[in-house]
Amino acid sequence: MDTARLRPDWLTFRRFAAFTTALTASLIALGVYTAATGSGLACSAQWPLCDNGLLPQTIPSFIEWFHRLVAMITGFFILGTVGWAWRGDTSRRTKLAATLAVVLLPLQISIGAVTVTLNGWLPGGYSPPTQSAHLLVALTIFTSLVATTLFAYTGHHRRSALSRTQRALLAALVILPVSALVSRAPGLLTYSPGMQATFVFASLPVYAALVATVYWAGAAGLRRVKLATLPVAGLVFVHLLLGRDLLIYTAPVRLLNLGILAAAFLGLAGVAWAAYRHDGSTTTSQAYPSSD
């Protein structure tokens, strides 16, 4: 049976990949909220069961149970993305990027299961290092899905690669101060569980925009912009990890975080200035054949 006839015309692979990426970002923010509230230790330290059954019995257990439910749904969407990529007429790099997300998925599930079940038996089972490892794998999966979406949209843009590069940098430049404000680095707002989730939800679009900038700047022939964006993306990545206790958040770590934010903003502003002053007359437009 031709599966293409069973789906609506608007449901394309690239849109499916974009939705999966957005769903993964939401899951990461929800996971941060779950960990910050301590709900990860609910469900009577059981996985995949909760409170000796399928359904939760308390509010903390419900938060953990709901996180698991969204994680399961997201996992199926990731599997669907890689299945569609390999069955469809997609580029090799699209297939590989989607496959990386699936390869890391069992590791992510295993770390999550360990933190909520064996945390009392394993040293640091439910601690900042373990939670940071959980987030690190999640961000890697998110990165691979962003790349999958970018590759899938190749050849389907109305704007030039230069214009897309400029807009991505502008978006990152606008959202990064919001990410800094809701982070705990400036100490202006109470870093509650809800604020921690807000921080991650505000930071992921900045990181995704920088990943897109690296790709689109390369397509536009802006080699210097591409290379200069890489360390900025790395700084934002570290900023995300510091927001989840990669290190115990002491005063020196806070100063480090502020320094990383300042360097990221200055670097981003410089890259954006370089991209916007480019008139496009010397850019090269690379044509990537794709029918994603």
Question: What's the pLDDT at 290?
Answer: 44
Task: Tell me the pLDDT tens digit for each residue of 32-45.
Answer: 888 888 777 777 67
Question: What's the pLDDT at 146?
Answer: 97
**Domain locations in the chain as residue ranges:** 10-156, 160-285
Task: Tell me the pLDDT tens digit for each residue of 117-161.
Answer: 655 444 444 566 666 777 888 999 999 999 999 999 988 777 888
Task: Tell me the pLDDT tens digit for each residue of 53-95.
Answer: 788 888 888 988 898 899 999 999 999 999 999 998 888 999 9
Q: What angle (nearest 5°) sits at the alpha carbon of residue 288, between those of residues 283 and 292? A: 135
Question: What's the pLDDT at 7?
Answer: 66
Does residue 284 carry a pLDDT above 60? no
Task: Tell me the pLDDT tens digit for each residue of 186-210.
Answer: 988 888 989 999 999 999 999 999 9
Looking at domain 160-285, which CATH architecture does it have?
Up-down Bundle (1.20)
Average pLDDT over all residues of the chain:
85
Question: What's the pLDDT at 291?
Answer: 43
For the segment 215-243, the average pLDDT, to the nearest whole number, is 93
Q: Cβ(243)–Cβ(187) under 8 Å?
A: no
Task: Tell me the pLDDT tens digit for each residue of 165-177.
Answer: 999 999 999 999 9
Q: Which two tokens stand for residue 153?
A: 């949209």
Question: What's the pLDDT at 156?
Answer: 76
Does residue 288 carry a pLDDT above 50? no
Alpha carbons 186 and 254: distance in angstroms, whole number: 8
* 58 phi/psi in degrees, rounded to 5: -135, 170
Share of the chain residues as helix, strand and coil, in percent rounded to the nearest 5:
70, 0, 30
Does residue 289 carry a pLDDT above 70? no
Question: What's the pLDDT at 265?
Answer: 96
- Helix H or strand E encompassing 26: helix 13-36
